[in-house]
Amino acid sequence: MAWEQAEVRSLKPNRYVLIGDEPCRIISITTSKPGKHGEAKARIECFGLFDNQKRSIVHPVTHKVRVPMIDRRRAQVLSLQGGEVQLMDLETYETFTLPVPADFEGKLEPSQNLQYMVAMGRPKLLSRP
């Protein structure tokens, strides 16, 4: 899968991190002071990209974590079928179907161009077309 390593101290809010093979968007990072014999720890609060579950992890700031490679692409709507939309990537011309998110209900039309992201091999429509 497509990911790279980064130290916890280099992470920032609105970036991404992998928690249990699930790509998550970082909401907040709080760090504690180092103790007498310990090192500073960071608590990372985030939401899953695909399941919207809240997750949190605590690691030393020098710990290495996995960061997913996010690929943003453009696609054209080919058809709407019930709660699914069929899209065609504008660079590779591959077609795929995705469920229509709640914030896109009634806003999609055929031949409309959209932006989507691919994280860990799974596509997702972005909330800003």
Spell out the domains of the chain, with CATH numbers in brackets: 3-68 (2.30.30.30), 70-125 (2.40.50.140)
64-77 confidence digits (pLDDT tens): 999 999 999 999 99
Encode 69-79: b = buried (16+ Cβ within 10 Å), e = exposed: ebeebebbbee
4-47 confidence digits (pLDDT tens): 999 999 999 999 999 998 999 999 999 999 988 889 999 999 99
Instruction: Tell if the pTM clears 0.85, that is, is over it.
Output: no
Separation between Cα atoms, residue 30 and residue 40, nearest integer Å: 10
Separation between Cα atoms, residue 70 and residue 18, nearest integer Å: 11
Residue 127 reports pLDDT greater than 70: no
Separation between Cα atoms, residue 26 and residue 45, nearest integer Å: 6
Confidence bin at 1 (pLDDT 50/70/90): low
Place of tokens 């916890």: 8
Contact call for residues 55 and 24 (beta carbons, < 8 A)? yes
CA-based nearest residue to 49, from 10, 18, 73, 90 = 18
Q: Give the pLDDT confidence score for residue 89 in this predicted structure.
A: 95
Contact call for residues 26 and 15 (beta carbons, < 8 A)? yes
Overall average pLDDT of the 112-116 stretch: 93
